[in-house]
Amino acid sequence: MGCFDCFKASPTNDIDNENTKCHSGKTKEFFDGKKEKDLSNSCHIAAQTFAFKELAAATKNFRAECLIGEGGFGRVYKGWLESTNQVVAIKQLDRNGVQGNREFLVEVLMLSLLHHPNLVSLIGYCADGDQRLLVYEYMPLGSLEDHLHDLPSDREPLGWNLRMKIAAGAARGLEYLHDKANPPVIYRDFKSSNILLSSDYEPKLSDFGLAKLGPVGDKTHVSTRVMGTYGYCAPEYAMTGQLTSKSDVYSFGVVLLELITGRKAIDNSRGSGEHNLVAWLDLDLYLSYASFNGDQFGGTV
């Protein structure tokens, strides 16, 4: 039984088995051998290649008016591809940023080989000189984080039905990575800012630069350098570096708490002891339990 059986998709959402196999032999050879000399020759890549000038034209030379997001990795722009008459999201990696060449290669490979309705689609990439860009399908409603925290005054909070729809879709995406992809994939960066929303609030997991192939055969975990985002990272993984799919399940639980409570995973604006959502909730539940004397049930629990 998988970790997300309560979020099972209907039969019409099942993915054909052939599409769930991420060409395991070539993929594993690439990651184990770290063959990064030539992206297009490392394994079969279905994603389209773009010239830098084409993506510059799509974003009006990366004008500020096209900017829709930025972070330690670089900037994301809304663009229009004239060749396909398509609106896209273009991520331009900062040449001195936290997402390096290996993470770029990992993301191109992962999203080229993995296909599911709850994973964002990679349209193509650009590796032109020292420029590294990724071209994705455009998600018009932004990220889940945009709809949970620091809302503008004119935006209504998400209703409960939408919150549960988003949780269920994100769970299906993780289930695909853990249980249906061959070999399994551990996402390693599940968080509300990486869950993008379509026009009908269908969630899609994005940003696969930290993804890692999971254990196979009789192996129980993968030993790796600890990566991820503080507040979402499973404590046992942070302490030991031993990565399993359960690390993603912990992160899913944090996002579920965000959906239920409306609080951030880490909020430094709150008082002492309330910065970390999980730690705050643990303490709150403990105090509630400690003060519970069973009177509501005739003194017996």
Rounded Cα distance between 26 and 8, Å, is: 30
- Sequence-distant (6+) residues with CB within 8 A of 60 are 66
Instruction: Please give the Cα distance from 43 to 106 (Å, whole number).
Output: 12
Q: Which of 189, 218, 282, 295 does the annotation list as catalytic?
A: 189
Q: How far apart are CA 255 and CA 262, in angstroms?
A: 10
Query: From CA 72, how far away is CA 68, in angstroms rounded?
Result: 14
Q: Which two three-digit tokens encode residue 190?
A: 């599940």
Question: Is residue 189 among the annotated active site residues?
Answer: yes
- One-letter amino acid of 241: G
Are 207 and 251 in contact, with CB atoms under 8 Å apart?
no
CB of 242 within 8 A of CB of 223? yes
Say if residue 204 carries a ligand binding annotation: no
**CA dist., res. 44 & res. 40, Å (int):** 7
Q: Whole-angstrom Cα distance, residue 127 to residue 1?
A: 41
Binding site, by residue number, is 91
Catalytic site positions? 189
Binding site for ATP, by residue number, is 91
